[in-house]
């Protein structure tokens, strides 16, 4: 009997290492955050209901609506909302993403469903692609302003536009929205980890992350912390909370969305939200381990990737939904330098080692850019944020495919694709899917090339029509600029070149006008009217013999045209060749009725 009695002394002598770890308690903050995110969607539904019943409502409270101010000076509800959230982030830190963003709600819901079936997504560190959100923010909100400043153009006068009758004007169609949510939700979360889209695609989170670095309100720690790691285990923002509070006595990672799960589950109640020094000036408490070499090369790669991304993004023309804009190198250089400075200053103190070599990061960047060019705006169905998600996924998948060929062991999340050089069934399936993905990429790229050709011609026509309208009202310089821009997109447009030549001559720039007439004739040498107009410009420029040559050619091409015969006669007479002029006039057929 005595052998069956538990010995309390034996328990007291049991080492702490042999005891089971304490169970992580449930987060109370998670319930409140879920409620807040549900209420956000209720508010969205109420907004839509108000619009559908009244026909007019407050303009969408979407950060993307702020682009209207950058481009056209329109102050709408979206701009005011976005500005208020940024200002609040200056004080409270990056709270909006965790408590009020519908895309975060989607990602959290997808993660919750996966965890219910035993799948726990793990964040992958894609190195160079972590800069994508900031580059997207700069492109969307700052590039139009920078372009205007560099061009010396006046800023549009601010106009207030708080209400709208066309609520869906700036939103994609419902099928595209569903596809976007599926990719940026389930697919991105499974393959790239919880908050994967926030990390690699969200431009709004980028500015919140930058501003967060100077916010005084942070998650901080007391001396009661024992480093148990419960905080990190429950963090869905992929922050190593236990390490950061150990090293800085606060959470410094700009990815922290103030979900407060870490505060709620701490068994010692050592974590709290409080005022103090911001993350930007946080002092390191523990020795910093030396980082592996290659930092300079990584920054050089980031600089090249930044410039290439701005080149690709700025080439897209929203009016024709195609890549037709010529590169503005001054603008690209300015934005690249600015972005690198921001990334360097506000890169954050949290250290996350890239899972990829420099060569692999180069491949990630190249594949991302190729996919962005292939998918964005395709047939007007792929908006920017959707394209960013697709491009990041494509880049990640392509590198995994390369690893499948080069390595003996490859895993995707926690699924082994290849083990000891042998392909698993999951690896064969992955390879088959990659073949389909690559085929889709090639088809999309070919479609984009055709759309680019059509888009350049279409946009050239639009700009040409603007030039004609300007010419009709006497705005000669505006017409010249429009015709020049039309030729940038379609250099083979004879009518744009001829109209440009005419406007240049009308403005007194005869030599430039003559040059454009001759370029038009090089494209179409058999146009008698162009020869005649060039002859008039040459005569006005006191180049009589060249004018005579072009006028003779015009008459040769259209020998029955009385107007050309009389013009040639007048030109000959002006040059003193009266006999030839008289002979030409004799052969002029008198008009009917005389």
Exposed, middle or buried: residue 512 (CB in 10 Å: 0-12, 13-18, 19+)? middle
- The mean pLDDT value for 302-322 works out to 92
Domain end among 281, 304, 319: 281
- The mean pLDDT value for 544-556 works out to 89
- What confidence score (pLDDT) does residue 363 get? 96
| Confidence category of residue 37, pLDDT binned at 50, 70, 90 | very high
**496 in a domain, yes or no?**
no
**Helices 143-151 & 329-345 angle (0-180, nearest 10):** 130
- The mean pLDDT value for 119-135 works out to 90
- What confidence score (pLDDT) does residue 9 get? 45
**40 in a domain, yes or no?**
yes
Would the pLDDT of 15 be above 50?
A: no
**523 in a domain, yes or no?**
yes
What sign does the dihedral 317-323-327-332 (CA atoms) show?
Answer: positive
Encoded tokens for 353: 């080692």
Would the pLDDT of 187 be above 60?
A: yes
What is the C-alpha separation between 78 and 61, in angstroms, rounded? 4
Percentage of residues of the chain with pLDDT beyond 70: 93
pLDDT digits (tens, 9 = 90+) for 501-521: 999 999 999 999 999 999 999
| Confidence category of residue 452, pLDDT binned at 50, 70, 90 | confident
- What confidence score (pLDDT) does residue 335 get? 96
**194 in a domain, yes or no?**
yes
**DSSP-derived pairing of the beta strands 74-75 and 159-160:** parallel
b/e per residue 210-221 (b: at least 16 CB within 10 A): bbbbebebbbbb
- The mean pLDDT value for 172-184 works out to 87
Exposed, middle or buried: residue 376 (CB in 10 Å: 0-12, 13-18, 19+)? buried
- What confidence score (pLDDT) does residue 11 get? 47
- The mean pLDDT value for 147-164 works out to 90
CA distance readout (Å), 29 to 26, 166, 275: 9, 38, 20
**409 in a domain, yes or no?**
no
Would the pLDDT of 220 be above 90?
A: yes
Would the pLDDT of 143 be above 90?
A: yes
Encoded tokens for 147: 């372009």
pLDDT digits (tens, 9 = 90+) for 84-115: 999 999 999 999 999 999 999 999 999 999 98
Would the pLDDT of 367 be above 70?
A: yes
Would the pLDDT of 170 be above 90?
A: no
Residue 68 belongs to domain spanning = 28-281
**445 in a domain, yes or no?**
no
- What confidence score (pLDDT) does residue 459 get? 84
- What confidence score (pLDDT) does residue 590 get? 52
| Confidence category of residue 132, pLDDT binned at 50, 70, 90 | very high
584: left (phi over 0), alpha (psi -120 to 50) or beta: alpha
**374 in a domain, yes or no?**
no
Would the pLDDT of 28 be above 90?
A: no
What is the C-alpha separation between 260 and 266, in angstroms, rounded? 10
- What confidence score (pLDDT) does residue 7 get? 47
Domain end among 253, 281, 309: 281
Domain count, the chain: 2
**384 in a domain, yes or no?**
no
**DSSP-derived pairing of the beta strands 271-274 and 218-221:** antiparallel
What is the C-alpha separation between 26 and 28, in angstroms, rounded? 6
- The mean pLDDT value for 404-416 works out to 87
| Confidence category of residue 351, pLDDT binned at 50, 70, 90 | low
Q: What is the CATH number of the domain that holds 535?
A: 1.25.40.10
| Confidence category of residue 301, pLDDT binned at 50, 70, 90 | very high
What is the C-alpha separation between 539 and 542, in angstroms, rounded? 5
- What confidence score (pLDDT) does residue 40 get? 94
Domain end among 234, 255, 281: 281
Would the pLDDT of 552 be above 60?
A: yes
- What confidence score (pLDDT) does residue 287 get? 65
Encoded tokens for 501: 């030549």
Would the pLDDT of 336 be above 90?
A: yes
């Amino acid at each position: 009997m005595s052998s069956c009695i538990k010995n309390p002394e034996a328990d007291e002598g049991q080492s702490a290492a042999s005891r089971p770890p304490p169970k992580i308690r449930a987060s109370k903050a998670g319930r409140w955050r879920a409620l807040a995110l549900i209420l956000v969607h209720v508010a969205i539904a109420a907004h839509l209901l108000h619009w559908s019943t009244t026909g007019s409502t407050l303009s969408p409270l979407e950060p993307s609506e702020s682009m209207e101010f950058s481009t056209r000076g329109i102050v709408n509800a979206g701009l005011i909302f976005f500005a208020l959230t940024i200002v609040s982030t200056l004080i409270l830190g990056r709270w909006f993403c965790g408590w009020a963003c519908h895309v975060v709600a989607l990602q959290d819901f997808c993660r919750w469903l996966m965890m219910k079936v035993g799948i726990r997504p793990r964040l992958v560190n894609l190195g160079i692609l972590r800069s994508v959100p900031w580059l997207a923010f700069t492109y969307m909100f700052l590039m139009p302003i920078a372009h205007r400043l560099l061009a010396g153009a006046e800023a549009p006068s601010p106009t207030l536009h708080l209400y709208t009758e066309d609520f869906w004007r700036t939103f994609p169609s419902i099928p595209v929205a569903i596809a976007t949510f599926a990719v940026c939700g389930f697919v991105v979360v499974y393959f790239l980890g919880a908050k994967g889209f926030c990390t690699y695609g969200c431009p709004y989170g980028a500015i919140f992350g930058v501003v967060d670095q100077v916010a005084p309100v942070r998650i901080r720690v007391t001396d009661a912390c024992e480093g148990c790691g419960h905080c990190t285990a429950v963090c869905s923002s992929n922050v190593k909370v236990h390490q950061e509070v150990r090293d800085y006595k606060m959470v410094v990672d700009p990815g922290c969305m103030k979900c407060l799960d870490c505060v709620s589950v701490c068994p010692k109640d050592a974590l709290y939200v409080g005022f103090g020094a911001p993350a930007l000036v946080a002092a390191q408490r523990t020795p910093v381990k030396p980082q592996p070499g290659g930092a300079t090369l990584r920054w050089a790669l980031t600089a090249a990737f930044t410039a290439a991304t701005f080149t690709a993004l700025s080439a897209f023309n929203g009016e024709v939904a195609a890549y037709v804009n010529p590169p503005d190198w001054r603008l690209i250089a300015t934005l690249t330098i600015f972005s690198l400075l921001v990334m360097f200053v506000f890169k954050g103190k949290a250290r996350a080692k890239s899972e990829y070599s420099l060569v692999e990061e180069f491949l990630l960047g190249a594949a991302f850019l190729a996919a962005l060019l292939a998918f964005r705006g395709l047939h007007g169905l792929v908006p920017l944020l959707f394209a960013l998600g697709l491009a990041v996924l494509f880049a990640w998948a392509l590198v995994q495919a390369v690893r499948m060929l080069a390595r003996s062991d490859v895993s995707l999340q926690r699924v082994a694709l290849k083990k000891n050089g042998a392909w698993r069934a999951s690896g064969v399936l992955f390879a088959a899917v990659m073949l389909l993905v690559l085929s889709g990429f090639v088809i999309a790229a070919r479609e984009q090339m055709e759309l680019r050709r059509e888009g350049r011609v279409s946009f050239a026509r639009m700009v040409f029509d603007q030039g004609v309208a300007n010419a009709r009202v006497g705005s000669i310089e505006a017409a010249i600029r429009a015709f020049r821009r039309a030729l940038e997109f379609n250099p083979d447009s004879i009518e744009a070149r001829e109209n440009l030549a005419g406007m240049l001559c009308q403005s007194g720039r005869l030599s430039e006008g003559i040059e454009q007439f001759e370029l038009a004739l090089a494209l179409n040498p058999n146009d008698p009217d162009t020869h005649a107009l060039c002859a008039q410009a040459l005569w006005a420029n006191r180049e009589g013999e060249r004018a005579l040559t072009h006028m003779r050619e015009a008459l040769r091409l259209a020998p029955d045209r009385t107007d050309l015969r009389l013009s040639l006669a007048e030109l000959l007479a002006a040059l003193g060749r009266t006999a030839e002029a008289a002979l030409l006039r004799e052969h002029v057929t008198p008009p009917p009725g005389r």
